[in-house]
Structure 1
Amino acid sequence: MVRVPEGEPIELDLLLEAVVEGVLVSGTARASLTGECARCLDPVSDEVEVEFRELFAYPESATDTSTDEDEVSRVEDDLIDLEPLVRDTVLTSLSPAPLCSPDCQGLCAGCGVKWAELDPQHHHETMDPRWAALRERFGRIEEEN
């Protein structure tokens, strides 16, 4: 999982425009990210830059009758709360499975060691548990012979 570390600043570049229905906020948000590779669990760091545009409607504007209450952001007491907009925009741009490199092979399911550090012939003998009883039975016969 990748995230913006707690307390890490998010740099905003904003343009606020007065329009008939309210205030149109446009801009970009930039932040540093940290997390873990989804395949090998090595630390990952990156930067994200996202663009956004949102209308904050004035109280008692025409948007009150044409939209649901939670459909459009609102100007409240002459203030605009950008936190939900920035948080949602940044969160939806994050990769659900970040990788330390595009060719990361991950970890061996048998021993948990990174594939990049293992010998190319590395493998674990696995047997389908449904056949284990037959192997035990026939394995004993081979041992007797």
Structure 2
Amino acid sequence: MNIKLTELDHRKGEPLSFQVTLDAVDLKNRHHEIRSLTPVEVEGDAVKLGNLYYVKGDMKADIDFICARCLNPFTQHASIPFSETFALADDPVLEDDEDSDIHPLEGDQIELDTLLQEDFLLAMPTFPLCEEDCKGLCPTCGVNRNDSPCTCSNERIDPRLAGLADLFKDNK
């Protein structure tokens, strides 16, 4: 999706609404934790205020993951806000602050697809969890501890300190 700068210039501060759908297949292929997802619906506004161009909005999709702890599949509804600021490449505001979040514009259009895909992928979890307090699988017997309790003793003792454990057993 491209937004023409001249169209924003003529609006004189009035926002320009837009809607676009991002390619779900491309996004799925770029993130290894996404199993499948619905098309990403994007709604937003673009406006020119002063010398800067602002684009903000929201992305929505249903995403299928596998839980990193219990390995159960689950679907998460994502609503991801985004906000980007642009300035012409020769604008002094870009020279003043090298670490700013203002994107330089080359040409007469704002190209949004790449930035929106990047914002979407950065919002995806590295280790998706079905629930925040997911207990995961028992490392000894493999039972899903969310479904049933496990009686395994998963106490790990450093082998270098195992002799100390025997010392404390003699005192009891």
Identical pairs, percent: 27
Maintained 8 Å contact 1:22/1:75: no
**Residues 75-94 of structure 1: matches in 2 within 5 Å?**
75-94=105-124
Maintained 8 Å contact 2:34/2:64: yes
- For residue 151 of structure 2, what is the aligned residue in structure 1? 122
- For residue 15 of structure 1, what is the aligned residue in structure 2? 45
Q: Give how far 1:97 is off.
A: 3.3
TM-score, normalised to structure 1, is 0.67
Residue 34 of structure 2 aligns to which amino acid in structure 1?
R
Provide the C-alpha distance between the structure 2 equivalents of 1:125 and 1:103, rounded to a whole number of angstroms.
Answer: 19
The farther-off stretch of 38-47 and 64-73 is 64-73
Provide the C-alpha distance between the structure 2 equivalents of 1:104 and 1:5, rounded to a whole number of angstroms.
Answer: 22
In the superposition, relative to structure 1, how do residues 84 and 68 fare at CA in structure 2: closer, same or farther (>3 Å)?
farther
Maintained 8 Å contact 1:4/1:32: no
Q: Give how far 1:102 is off.
A: 4.4
Runs of 4+ in 1 over 4 A off after TM superposition: 124-131
- For residue 3 of structure 1, what is the aligned residue in structure 2? 34
Maintained 8 Å contact 2:143/2:150: no
In the superposition, relative to structure 1, how do residues 19 and 111 fare at CA in structure 2: closer, same or farther (>3 Å)?
same
TM-score, normalised to structure 2, is 0.58
Residue 152 of structure 2 aligns to which amino acid in structure 1?
H
Q: Give how far 1:63 is off.
A: 2.1
Q: Does 1:110 align with 2:140?
A: yes
Instruction: Compute the RMSD of aligned alpha carbons.
Output: 3.3
Say how many residue pairs are matched: 131
Higher strand share: 2
Q: Give how far 1:122 is off.
A: 3.2
Maintained 8 Å contact 1:4/1:31: no
List alignment gaps of at least 5 residues for structure 2. Answer: 1-31, 163-172
Q: Give how far 1:71 is off.
A: 4.5
Q: Give how far 1:73 is off.
A: 0.9
Structure possessing the higher radius of gyration over alpha carbons: 1
Among 74, 79, 89, the alignment partner of 1:59 is 89
SS of residue matched to 2:109: coil
List alignment gaps of at least 5 residues for structure 1. Answer: 132-145
**Residues 23-38 of structure 1: matches in 2 within 5 Å?**
23-38=53-68
- For residue 39 of structure 1, what is the aligned residue in structure 2? 69
Maintained 8 Å contact 1:37/1:43: yes
Provide the C-alpha distance between the structure 1 equivalents of 2:156 and 2:83, rounded to a whole number of angstroms.
Answer: 56
- For residue 138 of structure 1, what is the aligned residue in structure 2? none
